[in-house]
């Protein structure tokens, strides 16, 4: 924490003469009663009011100190920092079509209910394990859009990743379906201006391309021309998978739906871009992708970090007001004097 007006802190030196005046001279100005002999009061116990009398002084000093801190304007640190780190540029392209609700990758121990939960959990682990990489996120169903552009602010990226839902297609916000070509093209467009030597797209889907204006192979050719390596992941078990189907009167019925992943197209995309195709039926195969990416050549990134300045006087001002009000309340009630 820093102070914008540090010169006001010198006012704290006034506490020393005030304490000296209170101890040495204040008692002499207070009204007294002359008594012939105080022997009868020699062993009389001190009342709790007398023992708490210094509390008024303490509250005044606290209020004064906090007011001085308010005048000094406490603030959080504000700085730009340039830092050179090693990393690669990565775009995650994730399928969010309604078929991602199939529960063939369910894992109760990790609170994973469906394919999308599994994809998000492993992606979050991947992002957290690569703090120096420039990572972004695009999502697609029948259409595609960027959920988070490439950034080294992984806290924001993880927050946006956790907000990914399949209901954007179910509610009609975007067209449902699987536009693999559009999802890949969107991710490639985010990497086309990258200066990194290693540029990677990790494309995850559980179906076959059935929507979009750009074919998957066209997007793959564009990625190849830009030197972008594409890793494709086909998510889902073999055969059929349980899918939650909402009933008209409420409740859910599970039906078995076929798992139809266009492995040929996904393999062709990876082969065209010198990447690799993975058939992910469990978490281990997903982790194999990240081990492969760790072997990529890393390039230097110049990262500029910014910390925003915030005024932090509010707690000090509140504390000063409360201390002052408490001191006044005690003075007119418990410690009230006559005259």
Q: Using one digit for the tens of pLDDT, what is the confidence trace for 120-130?
A: 988 998 898 88
- Average pLDDT of 256-267? 92
Query: Across the chain, what does the average pLDDT equal?
Result: 83
CA distance 7 to 9: 5
Which of 14-23, 69-78, 208-217 shows the lowest mean pLDDT across its residues? 69-78
Q: What percent of the chain has pLDDT over 70?
A: 83
Buried-exposed string 99-128: b where 16+ CB fall within 10 A, e elsewhere: bbbbbbbbeeeeebebbbbbbbbbbeebbe
Cα–Cα nearest to 64, from 321, 330, 244, 258? 321
Is residue 138 within 8 A of residue 164, CB to CB? The reply is no
pLDDT range class, residue 215, cuts 50, 70, 90:
very high
Question: Has this prediction a pTM greater than 0.85?
Answer: no
Structure confidence at residue 247 (pLDDT): 85
Greatest mean pLDDT among 63-67, 211-215, 269-273: 269-273
pLDDT of residue 36: 64
pLDDT at 144: 92
Residue of 276, 210, 256 lying closest to 104 (CA atoms):
256
For 202, the token pair is: 């990790």
d(CA 123, CA 161): 8
**Average pLDDT over every residue of 200-228:** 93
Q: Which of the residue ranges 73-77, 146-150, 333-337 has the most confident prediction, judged by mean pLDDT?
A: 146-150
Residue 228 has pLDDT above 80, yes or no: yes
Residue 25 per-residue DSSP state: I
Q: What is the pLDDT of residue 161?
A: 94
pLDDT bracket for residue 167 (50, 70, 90): confident
Closest by CA position to 229, among listed 167, 272, 278: 272
> pLDDT tens-digit profile of 8-54?
888 889 888 888 887 777 666 666 666 666 666 666 666 666 677 77
pLDDT of 305 higher than 70: no
Split at pLDDT 50, 70, 90, the class of 237 is: confident
**Which stretches does DSSP call E strand in the chain?**
2-3, 74-75, 79-87, 89-95, 134-140, 144-151, 199-205, 228-235, 240-246, 252-258, 277-280, 299-307
> CA-to-CA distance for 293 and 275, rounded, in angstroms?
10
Q: What is the pLDDT of residue 57?
A: 81
Query: What is d(CA 319, CA 272) in angstroms, rounded to the nearest whole number?
Result: 65
Calpha distance 225→132 (Å, rounded): 26
Distance CA 272, CA 188 (A): 14
Q: How far is CA 312 from CA 1, 6, 127, 315, 317, in A?
A: 9, 14, 32, 7, 10
Torsion of CA 171, 173, 177, 180, to 10 degrees: -140
Which span out of 80-94, 137-151, 234-248 was modeled with the highest average pLDDT?
A: 137-151
């Amino acid at each position: 924490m820093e102070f914008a007006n540090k010169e006001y802190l010198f006012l704290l030196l006034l506490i020393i003469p005030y304490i000296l005046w209170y101890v040495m001279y204040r008692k002499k100005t207070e009204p007294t009663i002359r008594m012939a002999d105080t022997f009868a009061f020699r062993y009389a116990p001190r009342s709790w009011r007398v023992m708490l009398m210094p509390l008024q002084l303490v509250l005044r000093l606290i209020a004064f100190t906090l007011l001085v801190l308010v005048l000094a304007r406490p603030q959080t640190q504000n700085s730009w920092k340039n830092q050179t780190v090693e990393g690669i540029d990565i775009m995650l392209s994730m399928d969010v079509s309604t078929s991602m609700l199939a529960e063939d990758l369910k894992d109760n121990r990790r609170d994973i209910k469906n394919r999308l939960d599994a994809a998000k959990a492993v992606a979050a682990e991947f992002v957290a394990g690569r703090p120096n990489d420039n990572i972004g996120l695009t999502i697609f169903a029948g259409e595609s859009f960027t959920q988070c552009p490439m950034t080294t602010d992984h806290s924001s990226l993880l927050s946006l990743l956790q907000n990914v839902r399949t209901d954007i297609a179910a509610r009609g916000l975007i067209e449902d379906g699987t536009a693999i070509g559009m999802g890949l093209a969107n991710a490639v467009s985010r990497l086309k201006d990258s200066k990194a030597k290693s540029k990677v797209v990790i494309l995850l889907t559980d179906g076959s391309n059935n929507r979009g204006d750009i074919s998957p192979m066209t997007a793959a050719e564009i990625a190849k021309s830009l030197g972008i390596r594409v890793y494709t992941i086909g998510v889902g078990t073999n055969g059929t998978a349980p899918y939650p189907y909402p009933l008209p009167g409420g409740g859910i019925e599970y039906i078995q739906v076929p798992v139809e992943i266009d492995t040929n197209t996904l393999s062709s995309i990876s082969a065209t871009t010198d990447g690799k195709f993975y058939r992910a039926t469990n978490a281990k195969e997903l982790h194999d992708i990240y081990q492969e990416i760790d072997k990529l050549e890393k390039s230097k990134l110049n990262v500029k970090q910014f910390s925003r300045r915030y005024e932090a006087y509010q707690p000090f001002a509140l504390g000063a007001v409360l201390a002052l009000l408490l001191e006044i309340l005690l003075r007119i009630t418990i410690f009230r004097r006559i005259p």
